[in-house]
Amino acid sequence: MAAYVHGYGDRERQRLQDQAETLVELLHADTVYPAGSAVLEVGCGTGAQTVTLARQSPGAGITSVDVSQASLRLARAACQTAGIGNVAFRQADLFALPFEPGSFDHVFVCFVLEHLADPGRALACLKRVIRPGGSITVIEGDHGSAYFHPDSALAHRAIQCQVALQAAGGNANIGRQLYPLLAKAGFARDSIKVSPRMVYVDGSKPAWIEGFTRNTFTAMIEGVRDQAVAHGMMTQAEFQKGIQDLLRTATADGVFCYTFFKATATL
Ligand X SMILES: C[S@@+](CC[C@H](N)C(=O)[O-])C[C@H]1O[C@@H](n2cnc3c(N)ncnc32)[C@H](O)[C@@H]1O
Residue 151: CB minimum distance to ligand X, A: 27
Of the pair 52, 249, the CB lying nearest ligand X is at 52
Applying CB under 6 A, which of residues 33, 111, 187, 212 lies at the interface with ligand X?
A: 111
Residue in the shown chain whose Cβ atom is closest to ligand X: 45
Residue 97: CB minimum distance to ligand X, A: 8
62, 84, 245 from 66: Cα distances, Å: 13, 18, 35
Of the pair 167, 255, the CB lying nearest ligand X is at 167
Interaction of residue 48 with ligand X, rule CB under 6 A: yes
3-class secondary-structure state, position 3: coil
CA angle 20, 24, 26 (to 5 degrees): 120
Of 63-71, 98-106, 147-155, 209-217, the window that binds ligand X (rule: CB under 6 A) is: 63-71
Give the H/E segment covering residue 184: helix 178-184
Applying CB under 6 A, which of residues 106, 115, 214, 241 lies at the interface with ligand X?
A: 115
Interaction of residue 267 with ligand X, rule CB under 6 A: no
Residue 236: CB minimum distance to ligand X, A: 26
Interaction of residue 126 with ligand X, rule CB under 6 A: no
- Residue 55's contacts (CB-CB under 8 Å, 6 or more residues apart) are 82, 84
Applying CB under 6 A, which of residues 22, 52, 71, 137 lies at the interface with ligand X?
A: 71
SS3 content of the chain, % helix, strand, coil (to 5): 45, 20, 35
Of the pair 20, 136, the CB lying nearest ligand X is at 20
Interaction of residue 66 with ligand X, rule CB under 6 A: yes
How many residues contact ligand X, by CB under 6 A?
19
Interaction of residue 5 with ligand X, rule CB under 6 A: no
Of the pair 115, 225, the CB lying nearest ligand X is at 115
Of the pair 79, 154, the CB lying nearest ligand X is at 79
Is residue 50 within 8 A of residue 44, CB to CB? The reply is yes
Residues 76-95, interacting with ligand X (CB under 6 A):
93-95
Q: Write the DSSP symbol of residue 115.
A: G
Is residue 125 within 8 A of residue 97, CB to CB? The reply is yes
d(CA 94, CA 118): 12
Interaction of residue 49 with ligand X, rule CB under 6 A: yes
Residue-wise burial string across 132-150, b where 16 or more C-beta atoms lie within 10 A, e elsewhere: eebbbbbbbbbbebbebee
Angle between helices 153-166 and 236-248 (to 10 degrees): 110
- Binding region for ligand X (CB under 6 A): 1, 16, 20, 43-45, 48-49, 66-68, 71, 93-95, 110-112, 115
